[in-house]
Structure 1
Amino acid sequence: MFQPSLGAEELAAVGEVFASNWVGKGPRVAEFEARFAAHLGVGGGHLMSADTCTEATFLAMRLAGVGPGDDVVLPTVCFVSAANAVAAHGARPVFCDVDPRTLNPTAEHVEAALTPATKAVVVLHYGGHPGQVDRIAALCTERGLLLIEDAANAPASAIGDRACGTFGDFGVWSFDHGKIAVSVDGGMLHARDPEHIERGRKLAYLGLEQTSGFAQAERAATRWWDFEVSSFSRRSVMNDVLAAIGCVQLGRLGEFLTRRAEVSAHYDREFADLVDIPPPLPAGHRGSHYFYWVQLPPHLRDEVARDLYQRGIYTTYRYPSLHRVAAFGSTAELPGADHAAERTLCLPMHQGLSDADVTAVVDGLKAALAARTAGVAR
């Protein structure tokens, strides 16, 4: 399904970090943050790194002041870390429905799920499609709610000139081993208010007001090893080894996106008359081609997935509906998400796919369909 594209350039960058003998958080992390801020078109004071996107999400919840008694609305088709971050802060995840074809929530879906206790809204850009984030952001502003964007699927997605992840009060991105540009593990947090980033940097390093080290020694006349703690926090900072890989990967992001677009276009041409394929993006929207999904009648989907697996082609469904996960205690009835969960199959999609790989996926799906039915009634 996913595969990183790592090679000699990334290895050389890691070697340079090793040679420097400084492998913790240092100049490469600062460079990675600056490069990603420039990629997004935002000021560096609005962005900070974390060791994972999950930690960035937890930081966003804490900075947003989410806590007991609060409701947070999020799409049921969402990565579980967002719901975990809500629940771990003592708040209640309230799941909203999604469009059964795009798997993104609409503004109407979000509005229908709001409660008097709603403090914030989370949106995921499914498969890298922006969805209605602009309309949802306007709704949140109108209602006085905070918006947190899970842009892990959307490192290059935008509406017009505005990058996904920057429409809300907070946005998070992932660079783990399965994403488009990888740093093996790593995340980024964007905040509209730079004061949140200033506080976030302290929260990401144990709540320390200052840390001992060379820089502190330069500023203090004596006892530069002393520190104060402003909050009881975890340690979730990135390091220079991961950031060095991430810097190289950001430089290659354009070529990755080009190849993903080629694969997506080929799938579109081959599958358009056989199954339901991802809807085209609206004018002015740019996606990241993170997922490619087809939709089949429920009685065929699982059988086709098994046939493909036996042909050596792995498929999956992302993301299982969270309102069906017992741990969250939801009783919501969300028909759009249920429709999608019964019909959607995500196919291999990454820049490492060769033409032969793509042909194998196409031929495999066609053969699996032919073996199961003479025609697919959509």
Structure 2
Amino acid sequence: MQQPCLAGSGRRPRPGVGIERPASSQEVPSVTHPDTQPPFLVFGAPCIEEAEIAEVEACLRSGWLGTGPRVAQFERDFAHWRGVLPSQVAAVNSCTAALHVSMVAANLEPGSEVITTPLTFCATVNAILHAGLTPVLADVDPVTQNIDPDAIEAAITPRTRAIVPVHFAGRPCAMDRIMAIANKHGLTVIEDCAHAIESEFQGQPVGTFGDFGCFSFYVTKNVVTGEGGMILGRDEERIARARILALHGMSKDAWHRFGDQGYRHYQVVECGFKYNMMDLQAAIGIHQLARVESNWQRRRQLWQRYDEALADLPIGLPAHPAEGTRHGYHLYTVMIDAARCGVDRDSFLDATNAMGIGTGVHYLSVPEHPYYQQRFGWRPEQWPVAMRLGRQTVSLPLSPAMSDEDAERVIDALPSVLRA
């Protein structure tokens, strides 16, 4: 039996009643009175244990809250775990920052085209824009939901300088084909590994194929610091530059300016950003990383339970992990086709929420959003696979904080939602 986490169990009291969404064309199942409902099952709740709590308290008592010794330890631990040198990683305050800084450190010419997937969080495209580059979308494979290498090849122009593959939901992209394309055309590869800290392709960790790998430690991710990210790079000089760019372009961080060895002068050597990680965040991450394998095993157990229990329902389930890969088991995404399920995707979301089960959408395709339509003239129909997946996808609760009872509650709820 899975023991609940000491904190962040994934359950909270049911929210108040009275907020209504517009009626849909599909009936939503009736809901038991809130007082009789079990606690709301929060989507993607972190599993926080006493080790993290004690480390944060020790950090607070130390008086050193900003970038300091705990960030340095977290970087060393992460580098050791991924089999690289500490000089090949740099902790930052988000995966978005990691992507942005990596593109700047890669010295890509302003306006250059960067190919990425339309089935991703907006941060992937926004980072390209913040770096002064031009995003180009290549459609996804309908089975893996990752960027299609054939679509990458078709999207390359004389202005293309980089590829940003996203390892969606924890499933590694076809990195052999992507790297072959990059090498053929002389392109930089920056891997978005926000979902995929444990993922491997043909025995090699994701994030170590390209020039840079960018990781997320956001509160719903597989390793949590609340907010946070990590850059991993093959070229130590580029990572050294990324580290400087992440802290205003200064040659020394605060730990090396005000530490116990006396004051050290710094110089601003570039126009950088405020992207550094704090020790308060690293205090959580140190212990999260220490449990990364056991948490991965627990998510795999929950994933397999979903696979078994939902196999006969009229919904699309995630493809099985490909041979020779290690799936990160970050998002368990099901496809809700109204014609097949008898309920549309948004009504499914309403119904599960009303039953106290938190679900997510990962993701509406990027061209669905007004900003990109207005700026680039993009329309979802230009990338039909991503459009269809984005309009049908629902992410079920999946977290090492979940108990077996939580998983059975999700499983038991779905047939009644679909019968509606």
Q: How would you bin the TM-score normalised by the shorter chain?
A: over 0.9
* CA distances 1:99-156 after superposition (whole Å, capped 9, x unpaired): 2232111211211222221111111111100021231122111110011111010010
Structure 1 counterpart of 2:318: 278
Match of 1:195 in 2: 237
| 2:369 aligned with 1:325 | yes
> Does the Cα contact within 8 Å between 2:251 and 2:268 map onto a contact in 1?
yes
1:345 aligns with 2:394: yes
Kept in 2: contact 1:74–1:123 (CA 8 A): yes
Give the match for residue 225 of structure 2.
Answer: 183
Q: Which amino acid aligns with 1:81?
A: A
The answer for the alignment partner of 1:262 in structure 2 is 301
SS of 1:254's equivalent? Answer: helix
Alpha carbons of structure 1 residues 33 and 226: separation in structure 2 relative to 1, 3 Å: closer
Residue in 2 aligned with 1:362?
411
Q: Distance in 2 between matches of 1:56 and 1:105?
A: 20
- 1:29 is matched by which residue type in structure 2? V
Q: Which position in structure 1 is the counterpart of 2:131?
A: 89
Amino acid in structure 1 at the alignment position of 2:357: I
Amino acid of the residue matched to residue 86 of structure 2? Answer: G
Contact 1:171–1:189 under 8 Å retained in 2:
yes
CA deviation profile, 1:349-377 (whole Å, cap 9, x unmatched): 11111111111111111111123xxxxxx
TM-score (norm 2): 0.83
CA, structure 1 residues 88+214, in 2 after alignment: closer, same or farther (shift >3 Å)?
closer
Read off the aligned partner of 1:311 and give its amino acid letter. Answer: M
Tell me, yes or no, if the aligned pair for 2:118 and 2:366 is still in contact at 8 Å.
yes
- The one-letter amino acid paired with 2:337 is P
| Closer/same/farther in 2, CA of residues 42 and 322 from structure 1, 3 Å limit | same
1:310 aligns with 2:354: yes
The answer to whether the aligner puts 1:118 opposite 2:167 as a matched pair is no
Q: Give the direction of change, closer, same or farther, for the CA distance of 1:230–1:5 in structure 2 (3 Å limit).
A: same
Structure 2 unaligned blocks of 5 or more: 1-42
2:334 is aligned with 1:294: yes
Kindly indicate whether residue 247 of structure 2 is the aligned counterpart of residue 247 of structure 1.
no
Change (3 A) 1:153 1:217: closer
Deviation sequence 1:25-74 (CA, Å, 0-9, x none): 11111110011111111121111100111111110111122343311110
Q: Is the 8 A contact 1:95 1:323 kept in 2?
A: no
Which residue of 1 is the match for residue 3 of structure 2? none
Q: Tell me which residue corresponds to 1:19.
A: 61
% of aligned pairs identical?
34
Q: Secondary structure at the match of 1:178?
A: coil
RMSD over aligned Cα, in angstroms? 2.0
Separation of aligned partners in 2, 1:70 and 1:123: 17
Amino acid at match of 1:28: R
Separation (CA, whole Å) in 2 of partners of 1:214 and 1:188? 20
How far 1:216 moved relative to its partner?
8.1
1:66 touches 1:86 (CA, 8 Å); kept in 2? no
SS of the residue corresponding to residue 17 of structure 1 reads helix
2:94 aligned with 1:55, yes or no?
no
Give the superposition deviation at 1:211. Answer: 5.7
- Hey, what's the Cα distance between the residues in 1 that align with 2:178 and 2:228? 27
SS of the residue 2:291 aligns to: helix
Q: 1:153 maps to what in 2?
A: 195
- Secondary structure of 1:124's counterpart equals coil
Cα separation, partners in 2 of 1:23 and 1:157, compared to 1, 3 Å = same
Give the superposition deviation at 1:19: 2.9
2:191 partner SS: strand
Q: Quick one: which amino acid aligns to residue 305 of structure 2?
A: H
Q: In the alignment, which residue of structure 1 is the partner of 2:384?
A: 335
Q: Deviations over 1:157-177 (max 9, x none)?
A: 001331111111111001111
1:79 equivalent in structure 2: 121
Superposition TM-score, scaled by structure 1 size: 0.92
| Separation (CA, whole Å) in 2 of partners of 1:202 and 1:149 | 21
353 and 115 in structure 1: CA distance in 2 versus 1, 3 angstrom threshold: same
